[in-house]
Structure 1
């Protein structure tokens, strides 16, 4: 057995981030690593929960030799294999779940993983990067309104993971609504870049969260007996909520596609309109340019060259008459 030291979430170099003993009434008392080492199941209604930094050396060894976790499962709980999954191992529940990364500078698609192991009397959660969900559950315990047993703690953690997903979906939908009201002539490239980013986020969230749906189904259907019926109902509600969020992701993605097509269509229409006006102006001024160029060449015996000032006005009159004729023809052709 090796030594670990109690640590807060702000001290990721130490393995024990926090620990609580659930009292069965919604509260929990903190404990340090030495107390964790000597804690044994026995007191009615008490459940141990420890949150560990899985990258710390020796965590896998401790899981194997203290908790009795099998070597493959201990490797899974401490590895970088973060695809959501859940399975039953004897009387223990093992799961890998994902949550939205709300750390500073992170993108929604930068998902964070949380590994979980529980035998009904002890719950071990592990993470590599800071994840807010365990801290939220811990705060609920400290406030006296947290989980009462291992099953309730597992359902609460999954609820927090799924609920926080809705914030990213709402934010993306708000951005889409704002862009729908933005005039297309204002930074079209910027709008298209934002839409492309939203589409990438939707695809990434869908790719990461779809396996989580399957993992929660596995918990609901195959959890050990200590995972009570009301816990299964809670998980079922979480699964239904996750299914709605996945549907909302599809709607957000389709809305982004429609908006992207609409912006491109309007931008193309504006471009065509501009080209159309340029073509009309070119059609009007090309004959005039030809006439003035023809009569302005520096050769002898140009018509009207010896008519004094009257020649200039005659040429101006011809240009005006030609302009009027062109406008009449364009009007008749309904070009404008």
Structure 2
């Protein structure tokens, strides 16, 4: 009797022929097939057990919190990747988990939220332009994950250039705020890209035993792509550090300059304030009280003192 497609199964394809054929029924006891699942739906554990997958592997692909890793099993391997989150209203750096289980000639992949990388491959399969084999599909899946990450890095690099050139005329505080946000985004990416590189490297080492030479070279290329992405992130983090130091230096120089000019102004007006304070004493015996020109003579004297101070500070090269 034909089996009905379970609700937690998103897609399924048979790679025994080229182009791959969509699987509509009889999902168990198959070979050379790909099954894609929504991992948070009820009944998926029982279905996987019915397919003969051991309990520890079921727990590994369904657990909530994971990080990129590669683990060899007796009948295949477990590969956990992180992909860019391109869902509407989400932050791309909040990367999504994609669990890939290769077991007894089949690939089982698991998601919680949609991944653009997987959606692209499904569209190609529907147009009959997809991978020629299951191993090809695995390499293409890693390639699409890397491509989405590279696109995000291009956006981050463009934002970094805007902050460095400051073509938009942002204030220093605005640039510091945007730089801090960009820094946090890159730290989230580095957190997962570094272990992802290690996972792809371990997959490449293990694949030398069972992968064809051409696909092995493609896998090596994807490992190099992941390495470049990590190096780009590390370089951008260094640029963030340099730009942050530059902005802090600009703020410090501005404060020092303002403090300096305040000190110069205070130095000029200090003797003038002293004289005005002395002559402002309202007691008997003050000189010039009976002279109508005394006020203007005093103002002229203050002006002469201010000019002399100005020339003296200029000669001493205070600015």
TM-score w.r.t. structure 2 length?
0.91
Distance 1:53 1:133 in 2: 15
2:50 is the counterpart of 1:20 = no
Q: Which moved more, 1:116-125 or 1:232-241?
A: 116-125
Give the structure 2 partner of residue 113 of structure 1. 97
What is the CA deviation profile of residues 241-287 of structure 1, one whole-angstrom value per residue up to 9, with x for unaligned ones? 11111111111000110011011101111111111111111111222
**Displacement of 1:185:** 8.4
CA RMSD of the aligned region, Å? 2.3
Distance 1:224 1:138 in 2: 27
**Displacement of 1:307:** 0.1
Give the structure 1 partner of residue 36 of structure 2. 51
Kept in 2: contact 1:88–1:224 (CA 8 A): no
Question: Where does structure 1 lack aligned partners over 5 or more consecutive residues?
Answer: 7-13, 42-46
What is the CA deviation profile of residues 274-325 of structure 1, one whole-angstrom value per residue up to 9, with x for unaligned ones? 11111111111222222222212222221111101x1111011111111111
Give the structure 2 partner of residue 60 of structure 1. 45
2:76 is the counterpart of 1:83 = no
2:298 is the counterpart of 1:315 = yes
Question: Where does structure 2 lack aligned partners over 5 or more consecutive residues?
Answer: none
TM-score w.r.t. structure 1 length?
0.87
2:186 is the counterpart of 1:219 = no
**Displacement of 1:193:** 1.9
Kept in 2: contact 1:85–1:95 (CA 8 A): yes
Distance 2:26 2:191 in 1: 37
CA 65–257 in structure 1, closer or farther in 2 if over 3 Å, else same: same
2:222 is the counterpart of 1:238 = yes
Kept in 1: contact 2:15–2:132 (CA 8 A): yes
Distance 2:80 2:175 in 1: 37
**Displacement of 1:21:** 2.9
Give the structure 1 partner of residue 108 of structure 2. 124
Give the structure 2 partner of residue 37 of structure 1. 27
Give secondary structure in 1 for the equivalent of 2:288: coil
